[in-house]
Amino acid sequence: MQKTIKLLKEENELKVIEDVLDIYLEISHLAYAEVKKKDGGKALLFTKAVDKRSGREFQEPILMNVFGSYRRCELLFGRTIESVADEITKLLHMKKPDGFKAKLSMAGELFSLKNIFPKRLSGEGACQKIKYLDKDIDLHEIPVLTTWEQDGGPFITMGQVYTQSLDGEMVNLGMYRLQVYDKNHLGMHWQIHKDSSHFFDQYQKAGKKMPVCVAIGGDPLYTWCATAPLPYGVNELLMYGLIKKEPVKLVKSLTTPLYIPRDVDYVIEGWVDTTQQRIEGPFGDHTGYYTLKESYPVMQVSAITTKKEKVFLATVVGKPPLEDKYMGWATGRIFLPLLKTTTPDLIDYHMPENAGFHNLILAKMQPHYKGHAKQFMHAFWGAGQMSFVKHAIFLDEHAPRLDNYKPIAVYILNRFTPKCLFISEGILDALDHSSPESLVGGKLGIDVTSAVKVDIPELLGDEELLHKVKEVVPDAVQLHQFMRHTSNPITVISLRKTKNAKEYFDALTSLREHLRIVVFVDEAKNDVFNSYMILWRVTNNMDAQRDIFISELMVGVDGTKKTSLDGFTREWPDDVDCSVRVVDSLKQRGIWDLDDATYEKYQLS
């Protein structure tokens, strides 16, 4: 962390904030605003953190938004992201060498791979210079942030969670949010599909407690490795060795059999009683919504160790754009070669930041025959973490760059007809709130790999069209048409909803000569002119099996909040919003510097 801070200062990528700031909302709100700035703003170092509720003053600084730009990501990796992807591609396609020189070259490459394997050291590490055991254990002495008003408490958000299988043969490094319940208990948000949850099942069946270590800080690349989507059983720290060309050096924790990097800033050791669970949450998550209360395993802390000069690393999540935009970019580029091994006709893919990654993916492929894209969808939805993707659009090799949104939108809309839609069902991320039941819901695939000629509708202006819409849908409030120059204009209609959206869609079929794709949103909290946030809202709120309507060339999409009007029985979460009181206080103190236009664009409250 100290080396990282020095590097960021030298590269003019760090802003030091010396004002006294509360770990309750204030620090997280400033970091949330910073990442909304152009190019992700700066990394932030808060040097005077306090807990106003308890009167605690913390000696260690808090570092945030460290990955929050493309440039900072590559600084922390120490190389270009593409060079890592190229290296993985080369390893995956390594062939038997022909000739003596080729054999020597391969021998050198294979020899260098010895550095990717973590190395266990004897003795203690820098992370164990200060030790807290037994009655001295107190999680409240760590400056853990409470990010949002409705959060169930403080949450560790950049924790490296180290676990191992029951037999000790497999180890895992993951990143999960961790709720601080009291001085010596943490909530483990292990979603059912995660490797740590699989290990938990092993310990539970054996009737044994499970060892866990949570590390914070050290080389930021450890934290990124914790998010790496490697296959089950593969140690994520191998990625560190591959990228840095040196092994991670590990030391044994004091009270568990687990090993952690010797130079992390904090280590929280403990044991999970597999017979007990506790309510965890709510938590304002990266979907931009609160995830609701649910039972999860609990870790009882057996030791806390730290460096002498420590830095607390944290992130903030909520509505996009976020720091995970840049972490996800690096992950997507680096793991494209591995994804191609299970989907060999894949050329490229991209996850738009404002769709929360799992909610929408754009995939470019090489179609070879009729129906190939639909076959490809099944393979795609079965490939590791891609199985959590809700909506996917598949394009052919002639499509524009996937991150060049305007040309790609034109390309898609000029090829789209309702026959392009493929609706299925599969597993969903535990954070998804829109499906009729948790963990399972609708999947939407759109195949635009083939060109289809579509008649352009008879276009009207927004005001004239809204007048006609209100005649058949009196609950309509506002309307805006996007992509009017394409074969499939998108008409966004805000509603004061009094009935199921399917009834509104059916009423609009009388206007089919003017409409192609109709998107319904609630009037509250939505601006029909803000396409960035409309995409965020709709991809969060829709379940393809329930919320897609088709009538000839017209397609309807229901992006409204679901209630009993829709037969929805689950609890619908609130948006993640900044506290206006906290923002006003920061403005009055001259600390808040986000302009109002950006604040409104990204709907911070």
pLDDT of 363 reads 93
Mean pLDDT of all residues in 164-189: 94
Assign 95 a pLDDT band (cuts: 50, 70, 90).
Answer: low
Mean pLDDT of all residues in 67-87: 92
pLDDT of 101 reads 53
pLDDT of 193 reads 66
| CATH 3.90.950.20 fits domain 342-448 | no
**Above 70 in pLDDT, residue 141?**
yes
**pLDDT above 70 coverage of the chain, percent:** 96
* Mean pLDDT of all residues belonging to the chain: 92
How deeply is 462 buried, as exposed, middle or buried, from its count of CB atoms within 10 A (0-12, 13-18, 19+)? Answer: middle
Mean pLDDT of all residues in 274-297: 94
**Above 60 in pLDDT, residue 49?**
yes
Mean pLDDT of all residues in 410-416: 95
pLDDT of 237 reads 92
pLDDT of 113 reads 67
pLDDT of 273 reads 95
Q: At the top level of CATH, which class does the domain 2-78+117-314 belong to? A: mainly beta
**Above 60 in pLDDT, residue 99?**
no
pLDDT tens, 546-604? 999 999 999 999 999 999 999 999 999 999 999 999 999 999 999 999 999 999 999 99
Q: Is the pTM of this model over 0.75?
A: yes
**Above 70 in pLDDT, residue 532?**
yes
Task: Give domain limits for the chain.
Answer: 2-78+117-314, 342-448, 462-566
Mean pLDDT of all residues in 509-529: 96
**Above 70 in pLDDT, residue 108?**
no
**Above 70 in pLDDT, residue 106?**
no
Rounded CA-CA distance 383/389 in Å is 10
| CATH 3.90.190.20 fits domain 462-566 | no
Rounded CA-CA distance 19/44 in Å is 12
Angstrom CA distances, 272 to 40, 253, 492, stand at 37, 16, 48
Asked if the domains at 2-78+117-314 and 462-566 fall in one CATH topology, the answer is no
Instruction: Outline where 64-159 has alpha helix (H).
Output: 70-77, 81-92, 100-112
pLDDT of 153 reads 96
Rounded CA-CA distance 200/223 in Å is 22
- Cα torsion through 412, 415, 416, 419, rounded to 10: -140
**Above 50 in pLDDT, residue 133?**
yes
